[in-house]
Structures are given as structure tokens and as C-alpha cells.
Amino acid sequence: MQEMQEMRREDTFWNKSKKQLASQLEISLKDGIESHRAKSWLEEHGLNSLKYSHKRHVLIELILKFKNPIVILLIISAGLAWFVHDTQSASLIFAMIVLSVGMDFTQEHRAHKTAESLQQRVAHHVEVMRDGHKRQIPVTHLVPGDIVMLSAGQLVPADGVVLESTSFFIDQSVVTGENYPVEKRTIDSIENVTSFSMGEALHAVFMGSSVVSGYGKILITKTGIETQLGIISGHLEQADPPSEFSLSLNRFSLFIFKLTIFLVFFSLIINLSFHRDWLESVLFALALAVGLTPEFLPIQVSIAFAHAAKRMATRKVIVKRLSSIHDLGNMNVLCTDKTGTLTEARIKVSSHIDMNGTIFDEVLDWAYLNSSHQEGVLNPLDQAILKCN
């Protein structure tokens, strides 16, 4: 297990030979890892998942909803109304708070539940070699030392090296940004593995990639947050920045609060300057503060967001954070670039010339003959040549 922990800390697993990997993982490349060692690994290091943060308890999520500045202002107003024995106003404000917070919490809680159910639906199993026998296990139960069999259409469930392959082409654009499938070869076919970087490691596969064609037997070396995809996800793991709507609401709440404080003290000073009863002056100032509070604002915002989220749900869009709806609706132009949108990721044959630079049809004929006999996934050059004829 100690050797496995050292392997876990070592990032460049693709720079090690097959024997080195098997030795560090203490496994047989024929039989795979033993079940009891796999169970110990899962208990100590967790599932093969990219989840970093622990899920908050539902009560914590509910309490955090009361951190909204306008809600805090309403709570203060409700307390003041209760203090001056205006129970009707206090009850109304309190009801608005409960409805607003309740609607926001219910909508976002349902969205998170829906997202979790979708993740469970797409969860899949893989065929592995453990204890010398093939078996199907959930991808979340994979550990370093598992030997996984992959074929066309499957996702690479963790980082590893190729032990066997047949026309094994991988789309690893999620990790490396490469636009085209890459043929992965067995680790035995690679000379001097220590000289390769991640992008050059043609014997290594990475979590999140997809198998385009062929068959491959993979030795898993990294799982979960220790994979290259997990490392990338870790850099992106941070608190969500406040939305523009939240910032605007905070500014508005602060403005209302300052205005209320100013008018309360102003009215109190005026009443006292006319030698009116100080208790009545204080009660009047507090009543003024309650009257200036926009108690219907939170419920109006919640209803608007809930309606927008419902409309987006009919278009199969799950809104996990209601305040993001405002940012999306306030967007005039969205500028983005990804292969296949602004760019085509496609090569075209523009001309076919001989050694002298003149157009020569026979060059294209020979190129077509060569490309038409390629096996596995055709590379972009072959595809362009075949489409040209």
C-alpha cells in the first residue's frame, strides 16, 4: 500500500516502463489487483470521482439563504415592527421572508437533485481484471492496479497505460486540446518512455477521453482527483463569484438601509426639536423605518426567477443557481471559440503538385490509393484526400 501511495504522488506515470508500474503497484499484469487491496484503497482514498468539496447539509443551505442583504433588512424591519406592537406589519414582512427564501431554496434544491439524478443515470460500468477473473464494476470503484478493457464508444474512466491494443484511437481533446483522434500503442512498442511529455505519450490514456475505435487493455495508474483531468478540475475548484444581480441587489439594499437610517434620525431630530414626546418620536421613527422597507421585493424577485427557471426547464436546461438567470438575460453578445464553432477543424486539399510545383493528377491518384487502404480511424490527411476524389 505504501508503494501505491508513492505512485499516487508521482504525476508522470507515462515515463515509467510496464515493469516499473507493475512493481510499484504490486500487481500481476496478468491477474490485476487483488480485491482486498482494491477495497483498502477505496476506503483510504475514496471513489474514482472528481468531487472535491463535501456537500452541505440541507439545513446549512437553508440558513445561507438568509444572508441576502435585502432579507436581513426585512428581518430588522420585522423586529422593529414587532417592537412597536405593529403585529400586522411584522407578520406580513415575516411571511414575505418565508415565501421568498422558501421559493429560492426549493427551486435550487430541486435543480441540484435533478442534476444528481442525471449523473447517476449516466454512471456506467467497465470490464476489469481482478483476482485473475474478468468482472463488471462501477467506474467509481476503479483503483490503481486495475486492468480495464475498453472498446469503441466507451469513455476512459481513469489515467493509465496501454498494455494491449488493436487500432486503438482515442479522442483526448478534453485533456490535451488536440482536435483529432490519436492512435494509442502498447507500452512495449514505445522506446525510451522517459523522454515523453504528456502530449507525446502515445502509450498513455487519460480520464475523460473517449474511445473512437478499436480495442485496448489499460493498466489504471491514477484515479479520481489524482488524474490529469482531476488536477485541471482542482484548479477550477473555487467559490462561485457573485453575480451582477447579487452585486446590484447588495448596492440597492445598502442604499435603502442608509436612506432609512437618515430619514429615521432626521424625523426623530425634527420631532424632538418641536418638543414632542420622545417616546412617540421614537415610535414614529421606527414606524417610518418599517414603512420604507420594500417587503414585497424579495418575493417578486423569487417569482420572476422561478418563472424563468421553469421556462428554461421546458427547454431541458437545469438552473442550479437562480441568480445566474439575470446574468444570462442581461447578456447582449457572447463571444466564444471552440473547434467546430468558429473553426471547422477540417483539412481540405487545395492542390496536388509534383516535385517541380506543377499540377499533377497522378500525385492525387497515388495518394488516394494509399489513403483508401488505411486501417482504423483515418487521420485528417487521409480523410481530406478521400473526399477530394
> Which are the catalytic amino acids?
337
Give the pLDDT mean for 121-141: 83
State the Cα torsion 182-183-188-189 to the nearest 10°: -110
pLDDT score at 64? 77
Can you tell me the mean pLDDT for 50-66?
71
Query: Per-residue pLDDT averaged across 283-297, rounded?
Result: 68
Asked if residues 198 and 172 have their Cβ atoms less than 8 Å apart, the reply is no
pLDDT at 146: 92
- What average pLDDT does the segment 69-89 reach? 78
pLDDT, average across residues 55-83: 77
Q: What is the pLDDT of residue 143?
A: 92
Give 163-180 pLDDT, tens digit per residue.
998 888 888 887 877 777
pLDDT (tens digit, 9 = 90+) per residue, 191-238?
555 556 777 788 899 998 888 888 899 999 999 888 888 887 776 656
What is the per-residue pLDDT for 43?
A: 86
Res. 251: pLDDT tops 50: yes
Query: Can you spell out the DSSP letters for 265-308?
Result: HHHHHHHHHTT--HHHHHHHHHHHHHHHS-TTHHHHHHHHHHHH
Distance CA 387, CA 12 (A): 39
As a whole-number percent, the residues of the chain with pLDDT over 90 amount to 7
Q: What pLDDT band is residue 300 in, cutting at 50, 70 and 90?
A: confident
Q: Looking at the DSSP assignment, which residues form a beta bridge with residue 353? A: 359
| Model pLDDT, residue 3 | 45
For residue 1, the model assigns a pLDDT of 43
Q: Are strands 182-183 and 210-222 parallel, antiparallel or unpaired?
A: unpaired
Check if the beta carbon of residue 117 is closer than 8 Å to that of residue 103.
no
In this model, does residue 258 exceed pLDDT 70? yes
Predicted local distance difference test score (pLDDT) of residue 219: 93
Mean pLDDT confidence for 26-41: 88
Specify the 3-state DSSP secondary structure of 151: strand
Write the DSSP string, 239-266. Answer: PPPPPHHHHHHHHHHHHHHHHHHHHHHH
Averaging pLDDT over each range in 110-124, 300-314, 369-383, which range is the top one? 300-314
* pLDDT number for residue 376: 59
Segments making up each domain of the chain, as ranges: 2-48+142-228, 58-118+247-329, 346-389
Which fold would CATH assign to domain 2-48+142-228? Answer: 2.70.150
Residue 6 CB coordination number (10 Å): 9
Most confident of 23-27, 87-91, 110-114: 23-27
Beta-strand pair 125-130/159-171: unpaired
| Full-model pTM | 0.55
List Cβ neighbours of 121 (8 Å cut-off, separation of 6 or more).
Answer: none
